[in-house]
Chains A and B, each alone.
Chain A
Amino acid sequence: MSTHVAEIQSHGPGVPTFAKVWVALLAMTAMEVFLAYMQTPMMIMLTVLLGLSVIKAALIIAYFMHLKFERLSLFLTLFPMLIFCIVLMLIFLGDAYRIPMMRPPV
């Protein structure tokens, strides 16, 4: 088994791949800062920023944290539960929209 583990580890990405991922992450960050500088409308900006953040997170997890080169069972054990729990938190956001309307006028 340990031989197999060593084989799996040796099939990881090389330095050029890491450099490409780093450049992609920097480019996406620059795009985010540009959107803030241009004062893009709130909902468009939030959607684009969250989209870019998820892509950046996926790149970091896949390449820097090496998960793309691990067994699928490791990914399936860790991530569906995590994503499910995070999505569950969205349930509360509806309340946040109602609160300003429930405040008595000053």
Chain B
Amino acid sequence: MSTHVTTAAAGSLWEGGRSPYLTNSKKFGMWLFIVSDALTFSALLFAYTYSRVSNPNWPTPFHFSPSIVFSSVMTFALLTSSLTMVMAVHSMNQGNRAAAGRWILATMAAGALFVGLHLTEWMNLIRHEHVTAFGNEWGVPLFGATFFAITGLHMTHVVIGLIYLGIICQAVMRGKFQAEDVEVAGLYWHFVDLVWMFVFPLVYLMSAKV
């Protein structure tokens, strides 16, 4: 029996010295980070939902124009930036560093557009709807607290992503870093996009006022 066990273990992917996921450690590390960060955002979105359900007079301050129009354009910018990021990884896999650099720059431009529009939308909400993180005209301070916490954390992720992509981009253009490094940066960027796919409908569209 012991012979059988030894043979089986020798053939196991999990014995050590082999990569059971057939992927590199940087990519696996990024996946683990993404899973932990997904739990953070899930907890925040649940806190938002909990607060909303427990407060029947939850505000609906997002006018279709400009708030929903702005946030829709932001969604378009983020989805497009994911496409350009995929193109950057694709170019890098084909060994075309110049094209990869240009696609990363395009991704950063779309990301910067997202941040710019988001800040404008925040200012609109603060100035015209008088919503802050501590209070609003509807008497539901939890709305501002959860809204600014979720969108603020997401925007922080986008800004960190822009810095991350900037570092990767200059390195790629100078002939440093490999395709896997661009792919790992891409995983982070797609995750930022992924989170917005839940924030946009749950926070904005569910509180739209036409």
Contact, CB under 8 Å: A36 / B208: yes
Give CA–CA (A95, B50) in the complex, Å: 8
Closest to B198 in A: A53
Instruction: Tell me whether A5 and B22 are in contact in the complex, defined as CB-CB below 8 angstroms, given that A64-B86, A89-B46 are known contacts.
Output: yes
8 contacts between A and B (CB under 8 A): A18-B83, A18-B87, A33-B68, A64-B190, A78-B31, A82-B35, A97-B54, A100-B56
Give CA–CA (A17, B94) in the complex, Å: 17
Contact, CB under 8 Å: A78 / B23: no
Chain B contacts with A in 35-89, Cβ cutoff 8 A: 35, 38-39, 42-43, 46, 49-51, 53-56, 64, 68, 72, 75-76, 79-80, 82-83, 85-87
Q: Which of A1, A37, A77 contacts B210 (CB 8 A)?
A: A37
Chain B contacts with A in 168-210, Cβ cutoff 8 A: 183, 186-187, 190-191, 193-194, 197-198, 200-202, 204-206, 208, 210
Give CA–CA (A99, B55) in the complex, Å: 8
What class of interface size applies to chain B in its complex with A?
35 or more
Q: Which of B22, B51, B72, B79 contacts A71 (CB 8 A)?
A: B22
Contact, CB under 8 Å: A70 / B198: no
Q: Which of B31, B80, B205 contacts A22 (CB 8 A)?
A: B80
Contact, CB under 8 Å: A57 / B50: no
Name the A residues within 8 Å of B32 (CB-CB): 78
Q: Which of B51, B56, B86, B205 has the most CB of A within 10 A?
A: B86
What class of interface size applies to chain A in its complex with B?
35 or more
How many cross-chain pairs have Cβ atoms below 8 Å apart between A and B? 142
Give CA–CA (A35, B119) in the complex, Å: 25
**Closest approach, in angstroms, between the C-beta of B173 and any C-beta of chain A?**
22
Contact, CB under 8 Å: B205 / A73: no
> Which A residues are closer than 8 A to B by beta carbons?
1, 4-5, 8-10, 12, 14-15, 18-19, 22, 25-26, 29, 32-33, 35-37, 39, 42, 45-46, 49-50, 52-53, 56-57, 60-61, 63-66, 70-71, 73-74, 77-78, 81-82, 85-86, 89-90, 92-93, 95-97, 99-100
> Which B residues are closer than 8 A to A by beta carbons?
13, 18-24, 28, 31-32, 35, 38-39, 42-43, 46, 49-51, 53-56, 64, 68, 72, 75-76, 79-80, 82-83, 85-87, 90, 93, 183, 186-187, 190-191, 193-194, 197-198, 200-202, 204-206, 208, 210
Closest to B209 in A: A39
Q: Which of A46, A64, A82, A97 has the most CB of B within 10 A?
A: A64
Name the B residues within 8 Å of A37 (CB-CB): 64, 68, 208, 210
Instruction: Tell me whether A4 and B22 are in contact in the complex, defined as CB-CB below 8 angstroms, given that A18-B90, A64-B82, A86-B42 are known contacts.
Output: yes
Closest to B57 in A: A100
Counting from the closest, the 7 A-B pairs by CB-CB distance are A96-B53, A99-B54, A49-B201, A36-B205, A36-B208, A96-B54, A96-B50
